Amino acid sequence: MEKQKSFLEIYNIQTNERTILDTFDYRIEAPNWTPDGKTLIYNSNGLMYKYDLSTKKCEKIETGKCIHCNNDHVISADGKILCISAGTAEETSSRVWTLSIGGGEPVLQTILAPSYLHGISPDNKTLAYCAERGGSYDIYTIDIGSDKEIRLTDTQGLNDGSEYSPDGKYIWFNSVRSGNMHIWRMNADGSEQTQMTFDDGYNNWFGHISPDNQKVVFVSYYANDVKPGDHPQNKHVEIRMMDADGKNLISLLKTFGGQGAMNVNSWSPDSKKFAFVTYSEI
């Protein structure tokens, strides 16, 4: 059977143009756009790579002992720190690590596993992540270099996809607490947890806030196609967008993929475009 292809794409929200940057004969996932606008960073087969937007060349990022990198990774606002979720040969469960954006030996930030990173605060000091503790998946934060994690959610079912707003005021996340998976927002200290999407024909995952704090894009599965707490690959999905106040929700495109398409923030620094991955149907 033919290998599944991956298509690295960008979408321009001003022109509604969709552009394929490159095609890969293997699976790549979850592009991040670097703050200088020059590079996309993604994961593939347990390792991290960077894609130069001008030359279209790919280069491996050295991640030392972390050889099981997954699709939950982010870049600090100053562009200096790459934060990854990964396992090692000795401990394959996902934990959160930080390293130089240019690569190097990573520093462990979460002792407990599994932990899946989705956000770093604008001051580059605090990480936000989804973690399973005692059988429950909730949102936690931890200061870089600290061993004290703080639990922000405590509700029945999965809470995931925690991501700071550019001003540091909010953490966006997704939760099944109201039945379907929906996009939520809370204050950075965990207070005032507020549901932002309500259309129950969909299960909405991974709300990504634009750098100008105006728009949120996310992946929507059809509610009759997956369970609320599942976000599998190889499904027909939509990428949708709304204003940061939850208004003016629209569908931008329909595609094939789901898991790996846009697990982490992929906005361009000018807030005009975002990157994502689609996959050939199998």
Q: How many Cβ atoms are within 10 Å of 247's Cβ, its own excluded?
A: 8
Tokens of 216: 């949120």
Residue 280 lies in a domain: no
Q: How many Cβ atoms are within 10 Å of 3's Cβ, its own excluded?
A: 11
Q: Are the beta carbons of 158 and 175 closer than 8 angstroms?
A: yes
d(CA 65, CA 173): 29
Supply the CATH number for residue 134's domain: 2.120.10.30
Residue 281 lies in a domain: no
Q: Are the beta carbons of 153 and 193 closer than 8 angstroms?
A: yes
Please report, in tens digits, the pLDDT of each residue of the chain (282 residues total). 358 999 999 999 999 999 999 999 999 999 999 999 999 999 999 999 999 999 999 999 999 999 999 999 999 999 999 999 999 999 999 999 999 999 999 999 999 999 999 999 999 999 999 999 999 999 999 999 999 999 999 998 999 999 999 999 999 999 999 999 999 999 999 999 999 999 999 999 999 999 999 999 999 999 999 999 999 999 999 999 999 999 999 999 999 999 999 999 999 999 999 999 999 997
Q: Are the beta carbons of 154 and 139 closer than 8 angstroms?
A: no
pTM recorded for the entire structure: 0.97
Residue 60 lies in a domain: yes
Residue 148 lies in a domain: yes
Q: Which is nearest to 257 in space by CA: 229, 230, 238?
A: 238
Residue 277 lies in a domain: no
Residue 1 lies in a domain: no
Tokens of 209: 């806030």
Phi-psi category of residue 266: left, alpha or beta, with phi > 0 → left and psi -120 to 50 → alpha: alpha
Count of structural domains, the chain: 1
User: Which residue range is the domain that position 105 belongs to?
Assistant: 6-272
End-to-end CA distance of the chain: 9
Residue 250 lies in a domain: yes
Query: CA torsion angle for 240, 241, 246, 248 (degrees, to 10)?
Result: -100
Residue 18 lies in a domain: yes
